[in-house]
Structure 1
Amino acid sequence: MPYEPPPELAGLSLSEIAALAQERRLPPLDQWTPAHSGESHMTIQADGAWLHEGSPITRPAMVRAFATLLMRDAQGQHWLVTPHERLAIAVDDAALVAVDMEVRHDPASGQAVLAFRLNTDDIVLCGPEHPLRVAGTADVPAFYVAVRHGIEARLNRSTYGQLIAHALAISPPEDLAVESRGARFALVPAA
């Protein structure tokens, strides 16, 4: 069956976005305890490109499949996990990249919801379970959204621009922040 990418976020309602996020079936990595550990010889570059032994992985379906097997441990090491083995994978910055963002409002609660599309076509609804994190400096900030199993997606330049434009529309520049699903996220890096 051919892969059908999800529709663009801009044309979807909040309930449609939430349904897309929920229907993605993911393997139960947290239930697996593989006996063998090794090296994958894979790298995820800061721009989201995946390499195996220095050569690009050019099939998007492979990248999407590998991304469902990713986790990051408490020491910050990224792993590709199967029921039988876990293989270390080098990650230059974040494992995934947020490539689009839309703001919706939940009619039931009135709360804003920030929806991010990732380079793997995953949809992440920012909030307490998927918080935003700001790093870097005030001059060169970097924004990340938690995805699953300890992995994060870094917001690319255009998505960062969408986030800042939204923040400036709802908060003063000296207290730049956004809210999503009842959680508030300051957008200025700690000094």
Structure 2
Amino acid sequence: MPERHTPIDAQGRSLAELAAAIDARGGPPPVNRWNPEHCGDSDMRIARDGTWYYRGSPITRPAMVRLFSTVLRREPDGSHVLVTPVEKLAIEVESTAFRAIQMTMEGEGEQRRIGLTLDSGDALLVGGDHPLHLSETDYGPSPRVAVRFGLEAELARPLYYELAEIALAEARDPPGVWSDGIFFPLS
């Protein structure tokens, strides 16, 4: 069966093209409306570096990881589950479910818009639906963006450093960046 959602690549695209690709893909499955009984553990884990594992072995097929990522959600208690209309299985997530691995920007200051590509093949525009924030972790500050259904993506360090350079150059107090008309502090 051919893959339904091929990865979206932000590199070299305008934000209008990126937004069109996101819209053309359609939304994810409505996992927020599925509430079956919890039926066990999936024996799956998403490592801190974003690698997905099943019973201790890495899942090496990117299309399989993308498929599983579409039925992933975060529960109100902070745990993560894989959910379908008929089953809900726990999955261990060491840090965040996704990594933001590519970035594209247009505009400056308050007119800036930021697009991100995730390791799941999804993409998003940083703004009201996908706010950027810093989370304190055992490993230090973690730059993150909200994705969907309580899930977050951690920004790859080069992306965060690029945003930090912009924030320092624009000299706002507190330091931060604008995207889609919203200011996101980075301190």
TM-score > 0.5, shorter chain as reference: yes
1:58 alignment partner AA: T
Residues 74 and 150 in structure 2, CA contact (< 8 A), matched pair in contact too: yes
Deviations along 1:16-45, one digit per CA (max 9) or x if unpaired, are 011122222311112222234321011000
* C-alpha deviation, 1:4, in angstroms: 4.7
Equivalent residue for 1:79? 81
Output the amino acid matched with 1:33.
Answer: N
- How big is each residue's C-alpha offset from its partner over 1:30-74, in whole Å with a ceiling of 9 and x where there is no partner? 222223432101100010000111110010001101111110011
Distance (whole Å) between structure 1 residues aligned to residue 39 and residue 163 of structure 2:
39
Report percent identity of matched pairs.
Answer: 43
- 1:95 aligns with 97
* Alignment partner, residue 156 of structure 2: 156
1:111 is aligned with what amino acid? Q
Deviations 1:130-161, CA, capped at 9 Å, x for gaps: 11120238x94210000000000001111212
Whole-angstrom distance in 2 between the partners of 1:36 and 1:74:
14
Q: Is contact 2:7-2:120 (8 Å) kept?
A: no
What SS class does the counterpart of residue 11 from structure 1 fall into? coil
Residue aligning to 1:24: 25
Mapping of 1:134-153 within 5 angstroms? 134-136=134-136, 140-153=140-153
Note the C-alpha offset of 1:78: 0.4
Match of 2:37 in 1: 35
Structure 2 residues not aligned, in runs of 5+? none
Matched residue, 2:14: 13
Name the structure 1 match of 2:179.
Answer: 180
- Report the CA distance between 1:90 and its aligned residue: 0.4
The SS at the match of 1:12 is coil
- List alignment gaps of at least 5 residues for structure 1: none
Which residue of the partner structure matches residue 114 of structure 2? 114
User: Separation in 1 of the partners of 2:103 and 2:83?
Assistant: 29
User: 8 Å contact 2:8–2:117 — kept in the other structure?
Assistant: no
Q: Pick which of 154-163 and 125-134 moved more.
A: 154-163
Residue 17 to residue 81, structure 1, CA distance change in 2 (3 Å):
same
User: 1:64, 1:37 → 2: CA distance?
Assistant: 22
How many Å separate the matches in 2 of 1:47 and 1:12?
A: 26
Q: Which amino acid aligns with 1:17?
A: L
What's the TM-score once normalised by structure 1's chain length? 0.86
State the alpha-carbon separation in 2 of the partners of residues 30 and 69 from structure 1.
Answer: 10
Q: CA deviation at 1:5?
A: 3.6
How many angstroms apart in 2 are the aligned matches of 1:37 and 1:126? Answer: 35
CA distance in 2, matches of 1:69, 1:85: 11
Name whichever of 175-184 and 161-170 sits farther off: 161-170
Distance 1:94 1:4, change over 3 A: closer
The answer to whether the 8 A contact 2:11-2:104 is kept is yes
Q: How many residues align?
A: 182
